[in-house]
A and B are shown apart, each in its own frame.
Chain A
Amino acid sequence: MIQPFTTPESGYTLIPKEGAIETQTIEVSMGPHHPSTHGVFRMDVVLDGEEVKRLKPVFGYLHRNHEQLAEKMNWLGSIPFTDRLDYFCSMSNNWAYCHAVEQLAGIKVPERAEYIRVIMAELTRLINHSCLAGFLLSDAGAWGTPLLYAFREREKILDLFESVSGARMMCNYMRFGGVRADVSDDWLACARKVVENYPRFLDELEALITGNEILLARTQQVGILPRELAINASVTGPMLRASGVDYDIRKVDRYGIYDRFDFRVPLGEVGDVYDRYYVRILEMRESVKILQQALRDIPEGPFDAGVKMRNFKVPAGDGYGRIEAPKGELGFYLVSDGGTRPYRYHVRAPSFINLTILEDMCLGHKVADVIVILGSVDIVRGEVDR
């Protein structure tokens, strides 16, 4: 006679029924060494046959003490560390932090720097979403083919990043009041060429993937996230928009100069994995539109507000600055005591918050679906664990 198995949090109890065949559950630990958990991440999954009965994510394997380190360094010194938060999208992380500090310190960013920031952020969004499509399919078993096509496009954009900031991934490019170095006209021409060719890559990717029956069967009606649950769990980013909630911080806050660009926000209906994937594809097309407009309209002018960095002090107070990073709402909560270092520095990491809803999405699905759902949440360990 097996004992009833109760989990107070999800309220599940497994009791053998009269006359039915007694079954037992099996507990599997997926990870931390796993090709598809996007880094070191463990999930304690309780399975009934192939069905997930309970899922407990265990993270913290990549905790590097980022927030504590920032309290020991001056304001400028933590910018390279923000690169390593979401190591795929370093430009966005830089911008979020600089945006938060600029709000606190009241620094005004010149026009050209704003345009450059928008260009970099949207290029980062292109990288992130295309690699997500690749990784999702790689998790679904397509042996890396779409991933390597996405990486080919990513290489072109990383070349652009390298030529302007010196590093491909850890760019360390934004500063308080602007950017670190100016972009030349040659660079702008190269960027225009990359952006022009990008829709062709998107069409190729869509032809390969979007209509694929196997992908449709694997991702539709899988991992549905209802609207209310998404809002209650403070999910943000493409995941929220795929559940049908119209909330894009670029439209809501209108930070930077986003109100000058003409772009739309795609929304999903059902909130399953396929919606999350396809909303990202549509967002890529919108990003291409923004990039075309930004590259066309970028004015001449200073790229920096000329803030003196020696002994840079931020007036006392606290503030929260957020941007629409490719993964969601990336926010920095900073408390300053008027000194050269933050008194408290907290990162609101979108992957971390989005990951907390994983169990509710996975209940009742099979083991294979868990991997696909995790892939659609689009997490990066650096952000989740900081």
Chain B
Amino acid sequence: MDTAFIILSLITVAGAVWAVTLRNLIHAVLSLVLFFFGIAGFFFYLNADFVGWVQILVYVGAVAILAIFAVMLTHNLTAEDEPGFFSLRWLTGMAIAATVGAVLWFAIRSNAAMSQTAPAGVASNVADIGRKMMTDWVVPFEVVSLLLTAAMIGAIVIAMEQISHRK
């Protein structure tokens, strides 16, 4: 637990907490962006350079923009009235969060592979990633591309319907 880890965790957790608690939705989305940067920081910390940069490129450069567009182009920009401190909604939320947290904790602690530290001095080799993606993991790669294509076609179909309706 050295300083870098503590600072990164603070940034990430702060971003996550603000993202769910801030009233102004745009501020919440910007906190989510901070969270993404924090996760990218973790990737750099684990010597996974390529994944870290791709995290920034994809999450900050695309997903966050999408979220911002979604928030901006719809109406309500402030959250609804906050529920009281011990209301039913709050208690249910806390219960679910505690359950999920407990399950994750036990899963991570009991899985031996997860508790190993990363081998020191291994730099991410982009060529290796590429090679693995094309040989060992080619089926998931193709499946994900199909999924993305389907999503793109679906978005274009919805937008085209919109335009033809308006005209």
Contact = CB atoms under 8 A, between A and B. Distances in A.
Interface residues of A, number: 6
Contacts of B165: 17, 20
B162 interface: yes
Nearest to B159: A21
Interface in B5-29: none
A21 B162 contact: yes
Interface string B151-167: 00000000001100110
Interface in A6-29: 17, 20-21, 23
Contacts of A21: 162
Interface in B115-158: none
A17 B162 CA distance: 10
Contacts of B166: 23, 48, 51
Contacts of B161: 20
A48 B73 CA distance: 12
Contacts of A51: 166
**Taking each of B161, B162, B165, B166, which has the highest tally of chain A beta carbons within 10 Å of its own beta carbon?**
B166
A308 B60 CA distance: 81
Contacts of A48: 166
Interface in A30-56: 48, 51
**Taking each of A21, A23, A51, which has the highest tally of chain B beta carbons within 10 Å of its own beta carbon?**
A21
B81 to A, nearest CB: 22
Contacts of A17: 165
A67 to B, nearest CB: 44
A384 B165 CA distance: 38
A21 to B, nearest CB: 6
Nearest to A364: B167
Nearest to B167: A364
Nearest to A53: B166
B148 to A, nearest CB: 23
A48 B163 CA distance: 11
A98 B42 CA distance: 82
A23 B74 CA distance: 9
A14 to B, nearest CB: 9
A23 B161 CA distance: 14
Interface in A157-188: none
A20 B158 CA distance: 9
Contacts of B162: 20-21
Interface in A83-132: none
Interface string B94-116: 00000000000000000000000
B154 to A, nearest CB: 14
A23 B163 CA distance: 12
A177 B109 CA distance: 105
Interface string A46-85: 0010010000000000000000000000000000000000
8 contacts: A17-B165, A20-B161, A20-B162, A20-B165, A21-B162, A23-B166, A48-B166, A51-B166
Interface of A: 17, 20-21, 23, 48, 51
Given A23-B166, A48-B166, 5 more contacts: A17-B165, A20-B161, A20-B162, A20-B165, A21-B162
Can you list the 8 inter-chain pairs with the closest CB atoms, starting with the nearest? A20-B165, A17-B165, A21-B162, A20-B162, A48-B166, A20-B161, A51-B166, A23-B166
